[in-house]
């Protein structure tokens, strides 16, 4: 029954209306926690909150289980953190020895003596540029035609390798971009292999990405993207010595994040919170960003007895504990792919 004039509202309707108000209040608390409370507040800079627990994950305070990773760079928990290759659909695995021009657009240019090519050899695509003795420049570029966030929630590239073979008098520029954002580049002589790149769509303007350099993943980054294509570029310039450079990609895959990738075994849970009086009811607020184009979500569970009994709760709505106690905790399970950012619990509202 909804609240209406002339009618007696149910207790749940009243409590859930308070839940809506608490949601708005919680956002203000989260924002202030990120910015810092003024030192004059309450005499010591700490807010005087009544029956309220919250966390903005600015440190790794939650216990995580399953396929979840804490992202210190953006104060969030990502599920899933390990992407299962078998769950992906291949965009191009470069197995036919001929570049598929329905998937890729190639441009090459140069002046002087040299060459620039984009080819496949059956196991990888190679973007190659070579500048022989003398002034000038040769460059090669390949851009995906259809690999974009309009269709896919996550894009994954594996088996990236590179080589720059030139002398001090020559220069090179190897670059990988996605959505106009440079995710990797090299200009100095050397080589590398076993690199990977993964990127998630956060919104119509922002993406979350990470790059593996062959030995470790870099920190996660959030960037505003413009355009949604993969752009691989190679340029060789020489003022007197030969320069040979290439980038290779093993395969490109994508996924819309079916819920099978993350499951209720992937969750974060808060530490024990000892309450002076028995907890009988609570309203949870959980902020998360759904990365699953197939409608992924989170499942909220609360316990008032230290985890002996976890009870399913609904975001922004009153929950009355069947098993009361004085140790309040929250568990947030990922059903699909999610970026979990903040939570708050208002307890013992009555």
pLDDT digits (tens, 9 = 90+) for 78-107: 887 665 555 677 889 998 889 999 999 999
From residue 287, alpha-carbon distances to 218, 272, 282 in Å are: 25, 20, 16
For residues 278 and 325, is the Cβ–Cβ distance under 8 A? yes
One-character DSSP codes across 232-247? EEEEEEESSS-EEEEE
d(CA 275, CA 299): 24
d(CA 336, CA 290): 8
Beta-carbon count within 10 A of 153 CB:
22
**pLDDT of res. 216:** 87
pLDDT at 68 over 60: yes
For residues 275 and 328, is the Cβ–Cβ distance under 8 A? yes
Longest dimension (CA), the chain: 90
Per residue in 162-180, pLDDT (tens digit) is 998 876 667 788 999 998 9
Q: Is the peptide bond before 80 cis (omega within 30 degrees of 0)?
A: yes
Sign, CA torsion 103/225/182/76: negative
d(CA 56, CA 51): 17
The gap between the terminal CA atoms of the chain, to the nearest Å, is: 21
Average pLDDT, the chain: 86
Per residue in 169-218, pLDDT (tens digit) is 677 889 999 989 999 999 888 899 999 998 887 777 888 888 999 998 88
Sign, CA torsion 46/48/49/51: positive
**pLDDT of res. 259:** 37
Residue reference for tokens 């208002």 = 346
Ramachandran assignment for 25, one of left (phi > 0), alpha (psi -120 to 50 degrees), beta (any other): alpha
- Indicate the length of the chain as a whole number: 350
**pLDDT of res. 324:** 97
Question: Three-state DSSP class for 30?
Answer: helix
d(CA 150, CA 218): 26
Give all domains of the chain, ordered by start, each with its CATH number. 11-80+262-347 (2.60.120), 85-256 (2.60.120)
d(CA 299, CA 271): 18
Tokens of 168: 């001090």
């Amino acid at each position: 029954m909804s609240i209406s004039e002339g009618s007696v509202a149910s207790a749940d309707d009243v409590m859930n209306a308070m839940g809506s108000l608490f949601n708005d209040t919680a956002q203000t608390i989260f924002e202030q926690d990120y910015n810092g409370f003024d030192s004059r507040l309450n005499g010591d800079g700490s807010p005087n909150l009544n029956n309220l627990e919250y966390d903005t994950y600015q440190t790794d305070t939650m216990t995580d289980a399953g396929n979840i990773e804490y992202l210190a760079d953006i104060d969030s928990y990502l599920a899933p953190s390990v992407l299962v290759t078998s769950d992906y659909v291949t965009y191009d695995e470069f197995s036919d020895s001929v570049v598929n021009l329905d998937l890729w657009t190639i441009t090459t240019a140069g002046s002087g003596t040299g060459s620039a090519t984009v080819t496949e050899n059956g196991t990888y695509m190679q973007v190659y540029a070579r500048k022989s003795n003398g002034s000038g420049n040769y460059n090669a570029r390949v851009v995906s035609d259809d690999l974009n966030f309009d269709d896919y929630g996550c894009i994954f590239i594996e088996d990236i390798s590179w080589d720059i073979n030139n002398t001090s008098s020559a220069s090179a520029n190897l670059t990988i971009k996605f959505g106009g954002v440079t995710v990797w580049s090299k200009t100095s002589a050397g080589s590398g292999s076993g690199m990977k790149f993964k990127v998630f769509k956060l919104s119509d303007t922002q993406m979350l990405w990470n790059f593996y350099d062959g030995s470790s993943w870099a920190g996660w980054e959030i960037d505003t993207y413009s355009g949604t294509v993969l752009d691989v570029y190679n340029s060789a310039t020489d003022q007197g010595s030969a320069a040979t450079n290439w980038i290779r990609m093993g395969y490109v895959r994508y996924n819309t994040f079916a819920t099978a990738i993350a499951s209720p075994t992937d969750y974060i849970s808060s530490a024990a919170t000892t309450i002076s009086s028995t907890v009988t009811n609570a309203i949870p607020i959980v902020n998360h960003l759904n990365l699953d184009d197939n409608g992924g979500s989170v499942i909220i569970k609360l316990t008032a007895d230290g985890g002996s009994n976890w009870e399913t709760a609904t975001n922004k709505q009153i929950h009355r504990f069947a098993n009361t106690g004085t140790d309040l905790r929250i568990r947030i399970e990922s059903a699909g792919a999610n970026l979990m950012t903040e939570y708050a619990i208002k307890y013992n509202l009555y």
